Homo-oligomer: A and B are copies of this chain.
């Protein structure tokens, strides 16, 4: 799927995103065209989804993160509910899941008080039967994919 050079390339750009193709080729000691081709291929294959800016919700004032498990009314299915949840800015992510719950959402809020408001909004969404939430107290491992890249490109 990806080889060792791809792995080094991704690691390099993760560590120093602004270096550019030329500098990357120097660091990796390969021709510029190679870096360019690899990058194009990784992007085409969807391995690299994009280079967008990573926004820190906390820095925007959304200091509280919580995970909400939703139980939905049987009728209507998941998609309409998801569409309505998508209207709520504080819903950062949503998955349908196995198990007793039907949906798991990641939400953010400005404070614990604000979290109450956000949860109320969610519970008010048509199709949502009940919601149970847990608050993230600390992020022990921030979202990461580098270990996967290393594993997939096999080198320790």
Interface, chain A (partner B; CB < 8 A): 1-2, 10, 13-14, 17-18, 42, 45-62, 65, 67, 78-79, 82, 85-86, 88-99, 101, 103-106, 108, 134-152
Contacts and interface: CB of A to CB of B under 8 A. Distances in A.
Nearest to A101: B134
B46 A92 contact: no
Given A50-B17, A96-B138, A104 B144 contact: no
A51 B48 contact: no
27 contacts: A2-B60, A13-B53, A17-B51, A17-B52, A17-B53, A42-B53, A45-B59, A46-B58, A49-B55, A50-B54, A51-B52, A55-B145, A57-B148, A60-B145, A60-B148, A79-B140, A82-B140, A86-B140, A89-B147, A89-B150, A93-B142, A94-B139, A95-B136, A95-B138, A96-B138, A101-B134, A108-B148
Contacts of A85: 140-141
